[in-house]
Structure 1
Amino acid sequence: MIFPTHKEKSKYNRTMKGLFKSKPRTPADLVRQTRDLLIYLDSNDAPKKSTTKLNFKMAQLCKLLRDMKLVLYGNSESDPVAEACAQLTKEFFKEDTLRPLINFLPKLNLEARKDATQVVANLQRQPVRSQLIASDYLAANGDLMDLLVSGYEDPGMALHYGGMLRECIRHQVIARYVLRSEHMKKFFDYIQLPNFDIAADAAATFKELLTRHKSTAAEFLSSNFDWFFAEYNSRLLQSTNYITRRQAVKLLGDILLDRSNSAVMVRYVSSKDNLRLLMNLLRESSKSIQIEAFHVFKLFVANQKKPPEIISILIANKSKLLRLLQELNIDKENEQFDADKAQVIREIFSLDAKDHQ
């Protein structure tokens, strides 16, 4: 009997391994299998299956999400391939995979949720034939934004849904959808949630909605001026939470100083109630809040068409304001701030009751 040599055995083993080696999955395979598993695991029949089988399917789904992330982000050994990214993106939105993924997200483990969030985020930026097809898909499925915004109400899911939401509103059509929805009123609650991380995430999304797409944000602020700034003033600028007040006055400055919002700015600085609120913020013990409040307060003073009631308030508080402004300094040397402050002081100093009677 002739026994095979070690070399022949090795060759045989390599041949057999080659025969049974699984074929690498294409991006289209990854998307199709992911969607099938999501639908299967979320179906009414799933609980009737054995725990062992369900765990196996869940492990498969988690691996598929990791594999999709690998295609989109690459790793330390290889960079993502544009063609593969485009194929995965095309299949993902063509097969309507985002909806079941969002719905099933709470049932995934933490690592899989992170992978899914990163996949969804990346897909928003992936071009297919120079087109961001994610934008078209989301425009046709706006109700998914309703799910993502409401996700802030679930402490376990808020950061994942919030991360997805911010990437989706990179698309102007989606930002417009959220701004025009009733959801905008919810952000005044979300920003003040007791969980600091969730409140900060909601604040980041709120800021993105109001600053990323200039024309869309300006349209929203103009159309919703009364209720929006009433809520903003009472709930954010006068919040008992220091961080909320500081972030709110900073964002208010960013909004009003943006050229796109010039009409909104003039309207805001023509209100005596708004002026009184900013004057109170100027008196805060926090230097940060004082500085940010100054950047808004100077707009009231610089307005060349100040209403009589604004002038009256400035004159009535002239000495207090001049003293407060003289003492207001920032730690680092800042020529622009010093110049602005000097100009505001000159403007207030020159106001004379006799000239405005």
Structure 2
Amino acid sequence: MIMFYGIYYNSSCLLCSYLLEPNQLKKLFGYIQHPSFDIAADAADAFKDLLTRHKSTVSESLSKNYCWFFTEMNEKLLKSENYITRRQAVKLLGCILLDRSNSCVMTRYVSSKDNLIILMNLLRDQSKNIQIDAFHVFKLFVANENKPPEIVSILVTNRSKLLRLLSAFVYTDDEVFETDKIQVVNKLVVLELQD
């Protein structure tokens, strides 16, 4: 039985590696945006499973294809006009970046001003659910101890708007969310431009 599991696991990792190649992922990105809800939903589920199962394989693939993958993720999913696509994408992005096996990818992602701008726009989405999911990614930009100067500049320049927006967030069912929100607000308040 143990030998059979080892064969199954190795085959599964090989399949995952194959599906994480850009040529294969391009197809999946297309299916996620399909006009048929059933096809799009199934593709989104497969996409989530693919990116959350074999952690070391996913981490290696994301590191290797970082620019291509996150350009596609940002442009096709996070900026999508479709509510469900945006919501699933921002939720999945949070899962990817908060996974310890993707810490290098997360550090790179939160060092990009373009990514920060996308998340700040998602914080202003009409949907409270998207706002909350976007907050869980946005807090990583604020918590980053090694913020590039351009990130600090954007956060300081937009501080008053961000503080106003965050103060309007009410999500009383989740104490962790409220604690995180307080920490983010406190970090924004004391953030200073670097020389």
So what's the TM-score if we normalise by structure 1?
0.53
Shift of the alpha carbon at 1:177?
Answer: 2.0
State whether residues 155 and 188 of structure 2, in contact with CA within 8 Å, keep that contact through their aligned partners in structure 1: yes
Q: How does 1:57-96 map to 2 (within 5 A)?
A: none
Distance, in Å, in 1 between the alignment partners of 2:85 and 2:47 is 12
Choose which of 58, 72, 75 in structure 2 pairs with 1:231. Answer: 72
Residue 37 of structure 2 corresponds to which residue in structure 1?
Answer: 196
Displacement of 1:329: 1.5
Which SS does the other structure have where 1:216 is aligned? helix
Q: Pairwise mapping of residues 176-191 of structure 1 onto structure 2 (< 5 A)?
A: 176-180=17-21, 182-191=23-32
Structure-2 residue corresponding to 1:290: 131
- 2:20 aligned counterpart, secondary structure: helix
* TM superposition outliers: structure 1 runs of 4+ over 6 Å: none
User: Deviations along 1:164-210, whole A, 9 cap, x unmatched?
Assistant: xxxxxxx2221112213621111110001011011100111111111
| Offset of residue 132 of structure 1 | 4.1
Correspondence for 2:116 among 267, 275, 298: 275
Query: Any idea what SS the aligned residue of 1:221 has?
Result: helix
Between the aligned partners of 1:268 and 1:350, the Cα distance in structure 2 is 23
Note the alpha carbon deviations across 1:64-110, whole angstroms, 9 max, x for none.
xxxxxxxxxxxxxxxxxxxxxxxxxxxxxxxxxxxxxxxxxxxxxxx
Return the match for 1:340 from 174, 180, 183: 180
Q: Report 1:90-105 matches (<5 A).
A: none
Q: Deviation per CA, 1:204-243: give whole Å up to 9, x if none.
A: 1111111101100000100000011001000000001000
Query: In the TM superposition, what are the counterparts of 1:1-357 in structure 2 within 5 Å?
Result: 130-132=3-5, 135=8, 139=11, 171-180=12-21, 182-330=23-171, 332-353=172-193, 356-357=194-195
Is the Cα contact below 8 Å between 2:152 and 2:192 reproduced in 1? no
Whether the 8 Å contact between 2:87 and 2:129 is mirrored in structure 1 is: yes
Deviation string, structure 1 residues 127-164 (Cα, Å, up to 9, x no partner): 5x75148739x95xxxxxxxxxxxxxxxxxxxxxxxxx
User: Who wins on radius of gyration, i.e. which is larger?
Assistant: 1
Structure showing greater relative contact order (alpha-carbon pairs closer than 8 Å, 6 or more residues apart): 2
Separation (CA, whole Å) in 2 of partners of 1:253 and 1:130? 35
Looking at structure 2, the residues matched to 133 and 216 of structure 1 have their Cα atoms a distance apart, in angstroms, of: 16
Q: Structure 2 counterpart of 1:135, which letter?
A: Y
Q: Is the 8 A contact 1:135 1:174 kept in 2?
A: no
| Sequence identity (%) | 59
* 1:62 paired residue number: none
Letter in 2 for 1:249: V
Number of residues paired by the alignment?
Answer: 195
Secondary structure of the residue aligned to 1:304 is coil
CA contact (8 A) 1:191 1:200 kept: yes
**Structure 2 residue aligned with 1:166:** none
